[in-house]
A = this chain, B = another copy of it.
Amino acid sequence: MLEAFFRKLEQRDVLNSDERAVLTAAFDPVPKSYPAGSDLVTEGSRPSSSTLVLSGFTTRYRLLEDGKRQITAVHVPGDFVDLPSFLLKVMDHAVGALSPVTVATVPHANLRRITEGYPHLGRMLWFMTLLDSSILREWVVGMGRRTAPEHLAHFICEMVVRLRIAGLADLSFDLPLTQMELGDALGLSAVHINRTLQELRSEHLFTWEGQRIEVLDWDRLKSRARFDPLYLHLEREPR
Contacts and interface: CB of A to CB of B under 8 A. Distances in A.
Assembly of this chain: how many copies? 2
Nearest to A65: B226
Nearest to A140: B72
- Lowest 6 CB-CB distances: which A-B pairs, in order? A144-B187, A133-B133, A92-B231, A143-B143, A116-B119, A68-B145
Given A88-B127, A90-B230, A230-B92, A60 B137 contact: yes
Contacts of A143: 140, 143-144, 187
B93 A137 contact: yes
A141 B144 CA distance: 12
B123 A92 contact: no
A222 interface: no
Determine chain A's interface SS by DSSP, over half rule.
helix
Give the interface size bracket for A toward B: 35 or more
Interface of A: 44, 60, 62, 64-65, 68-70, 72, 84, 87-90, 92-93, 112, 115-116, 119, 122-123, 126-127, 129-134, 136-137, 139-141, 143-146, 184, 186-187, 226, 230-231, 233, 235
Contacts of A144: 70, 143, 184, 186-187
A130 B230 contact: no
